[in-house]
Amino acid sequence: MTTTLDVTTARTEFDAWRAARTADLSTPHGWLSLTSLNWLGADPAPVEGLPGTWASVPGGVTVTATAADGIVAEGALVDGTVTIETVEGAPGKLVEIGDLRVEVIQRTGSHALRVRDPKAPALAAFTGVPVFDFSDEYVLDAEFEPFDAAREAVVGAVKDGLEHHYRAVGVVRFELDGPQQLTVFQGGTVLFTDATSGVTTTGTTRSVKVPEVPGRFVLDLNRTQNLPCAFTDHATCPIPPVENRLTVPVAAGEKDPR
C-alpha cells in the first residue's frame, strides 16, 4: 500500500522528471532534430542533402568523399573511402558534417542514415511535452518478480519489416482497475499501450522504468514517457509485446505531442 510519504516524494520527483525531459529533448542533436531517415543500398549512391556517396556493406556503411566535403567519421576527416562499423539495434555512430550529425544505424540487417539538424523545425517549435496533471491514483504499490533466467523476446517496430530483440527479465504486477501484469525488459524497461493510446496519448508505445530488484516497490505511472516515435517519423521504435497491451486507461505521464 502506498503511503502519504510515497505520494509526496513521487510528486516532487515528477516535477524534476519533467524538467529533465524538457532539457533532454531541447538538445541541439536530440530526437527533435531529426529531419530524415535514409535507407541505403549496396551500391554507393548520394543521399539527398549530404555530400559524398554512401553504401550498405556487411557489418557497416561506407562513405566516399574528398576532404573538401567536410565529413568527419570516426574522428577523422574523410578523404577517400571509410567504413563505419555498426551493431544491430544499437544507438548509431555519429558522423559530423558541419552543424549536422548523421547517425549511422543498423536495423534488422539493413543500414540507414538519420540526419540530425539543430535548425530542425520541430526543435525550433518545441516548448515542452504535454502531460497529464500529477495524480495520486497512479502512484501504485507494485511487485517485480524476476524470471529464473532471462528470456529472448522479439517485438515489432513502428516501421514495417523491422523488429527489435530484447531480453525479458521478469514481470511487474500491480492493481489498476483490477490486477495487471507487464513484462519487463533488460534495464527495467516496460513498453506498453493502454486504453488512452491513440486517443489522448500516442498510438504507438509509451514506457516506464522499474527497478530490477525482486520484491515490492512504488510504481509511479505519472512518469510514463513517450518513445522517440511520438515526436518524429524518422524513429524506428519498438511496439510492445502483446501481453503489455493494457485494456484499462493510464491517463498519466506524457500525452501525444502531435
What's the CA gap between 170 and 168, in Å, rounded?
Answer: 6
The answer to whether residue 5 scores a pLDDT higher than 80 is no
168 φ/ψ sector (left φ>0, alpha ψ -120 to 50, else beta): beta
Hey, which residues does 156 pair with through a beta bridge?
163
Which of the four pLDDT bands, split at 50, 70 and 90, describes residue 6?
confident
The answer to whether residue 199 scores a pLDDT higher than 90 is yes
Which of the four pLDDT bands, split at 50, 70 and 90, describes residue 8?
confident
Question: What's phi and psi for 125, nearest 5 deg?
Answer: -90, -5
Q: What is the mean predicted confidence (pLDDT) over 91-109?
A: 97
Give per-residue pLDDT as tens, 11-64. 999 999 999 999 999 999 999 999 999 999 999 999 999 999 999 999 999 999
What's the CA gap between 197 and 75, in Å, rounded?
Answer: 42
Q: What's the predicted TM-score (pTM) here?
A: 0.92
